[in-house]
Amino acid sequence: MTDSAMRPLRPLRRSAHKESVALALPSIVARLQKVLGRDVVAVITGKTPRQVSRWFAGEAKPTMHAQQLLRDTFEIVELLSEVDSDEVVRAWFIGMNTQLRDAAPAEVIAEGRVRDVMAAARAFVNAG
């Protein structure tokens, strides 16, 4: 058995989910804009970068669907942030991912496959 196969899975922080539900939406948008950038958030939600800026400024409110995507994405960002820097988290979101058939996680979330991205994020975290 290899060392990596013998290593126990790292426990996942449960507060990422709790925060994604409890935090006010402007705080979630601000964190996502800081880590991912407004263009990536726009890809994920299917909106324009300008619309994301309006959410950040509190000038507009996202649709319920966009709110759910933002909260789900926030949870994944926070999970990944436990083990890596914001720069690595952003690169993970925009880079090809073999677990997602070489698609970028941001694009996969935009397609509505949030669970697939969460599974890929957990695999990344547990791989160390």
pLDDT at 125: 93
Bridge partners (DSSP) listed for residue 103: 97
* C-beta of residue 23 within 8 angstroms of C-beta of residue 77: no
pLDDT tens sequence across 52-91: 999 988 899 999 999 999 999 999 999 999 999 999 999 9
pLDDT tens sequence across 85-108: 999 999 999 999 999 999 999 999
Between 121 and 4, name the one with better pLDDT. Answer: 121
Write the single-letter amino acid at 2.
Answer: T
Reported as a pLDDT band with limits 50, 70 and 90, residue 16 is: low
Q: Which residues lie below 8 Å from residue 50, measured CB to CB, with a gap of 6+? A: none
Q: How far apart are CA 78 and CA 102, in angstroms?
A: 22
Q: How far apart are CA 71 and CA 24, in angstroms?
A: 10
Rounded (10°) angle between helices 86-94 and 38-45? 40
Q: How far apart are CA 70 and CA 28, in angstroms?
A: 7
In three-state secondary structure terms, 61 is coil
